[in-house]
Amino acid sequence: MISRARLVWSLVEPYHALTYFAPEAHQAFEAIGLRGFWRGYFAGRAAPLGEVGPGVVTACFFGFHPDFVARALPAIWSTATPDEALRARLTGVDLALRRLFAEDLDGTAFAGAAALGRQAITNSSPGGRPIYAANARLPWPEEPHLALWHFATLLREHRGDGHVAALTVAGVGPCEAHVCRIAHSGLAPETIKPYRGWNDQDWIAATDRLRERGWLEGGGLSAQGREIWLGIEGETDRLAEEPLARLGPDGLAELMRLLGPATSRLVEAGAVPYPNPMGVPPPPR
């Protein structure tokens, strides 16, 4: 049975992920000189942290090969400042949402979901959560559809930072985490490997390390590996509970009711691919 934290993530992540997949997002980054997907990606996601270098981003983002990050950082900051990247990020999302929802943006669902989201995420502990903490210091947009996007961003980065903590405690490195996810899901390595900069040799080495620990068997996880991986995912869900608990059962149910139609519309429009590099499952129908 899917946990409520994972269920909410499946509803929220497609909304946030417009900043990665929407053509308007790519165009907004290109308009400030950040040509190519990865320059925009790293600038937009790292901008809340300030003018950071590749070491900080590699550590915080966790899943990327250091050399892959270094292709974009720190060079992107000579093209656009973090403030310019933040403005471009919000502009791209705004334009994408206006295209996808048009006049429906004026409905009460966006305002209601944004208000509940703000209630949930405000005052969540920033300790050990660098990407969440950096985004939490940004001002809330006034327009409801952008406030909802800001909440989605805060919640997913809060969860992501917790996932990194759970992986670290379990002694799982970045490439090893990807190998485990692929072994558990049965998906092809190509759904993640080229999007995080790991080559075949890296993948084989990580696979060998996991096999030596007894975590892999055949083409999938062993019983031991499955237990450990599900434990990591369970701990990730547990660490993501703080904002959701703040709403209480009724508030959380209302948030999911308001989010459901918007997320379904994004999924039906193909705004987010499945499977995807983020690993988020499709929302329940």
Per-position pLDDT tens, the chain of length 285: 789 999 999 999 999 999 999 999 999 999 999 999 999 999 999 999 999 999 999 999 999 999 999 999 999 999 999 999 999 999 999 999 999 999 888 778 999 999 999 999 999 999 999 999 999 999 999 999 999 999 999 999 999 999 999 999 999 999 999 999 999 999 999 999 999 999 999 999 999 999 999 999 998 999 999 999 999 999 999 999 999 999 999 999 999 999 999 999 999 999 999 999 999 999 987
The range of the structural domain enclosing residue 92 comes to: 4-168+234-268
Q: For residue 173, how many other CB atoms are within 10 A of its CB?
A: 15
The answer to whether residue 156 sits within a structural domain is: yes
The answer to whether residue 88 sits within a structural domain is: yes
The answer to whether residue 173 sits within a structural domain is: no
The answer to whether residue 43 sits within a structural domain is: yes
The type of residue at 249 is P
HSE on the CB side for 94, CA within 13 Å? Answer: 13
Distances (CA, A) of 162 to 11, 52, 133, 210: 18, 21, 12, 22
The answer to whether residue 124 sits within a structural domain is: yes
The burial class, CB within 10 Å (0-12 / 13-18 / 19+), for 110 is buried
**pLDDT for the residue 103:** 83
**pLDDT for the residue 215:** 98
Q: Which residues, in sequence order, are CB contacts of 232 under 8 Å at separation 6+?
A: 163, 166, 167, 170, 172, 180
C-alpha to C-alpha distance for 238 and 6, rounded to whole angstroms = 10
Chain center to CA of 170: 21
Domain count, the chain: 1
CB 262 within 8 A of CB 12: no
The answer to whether residue 162 sits within a structural domain is: yes
The answer to whether residue 202 sits within a structural domain is: no
The answer to whether residue 161 sits within a structural domain is: yes
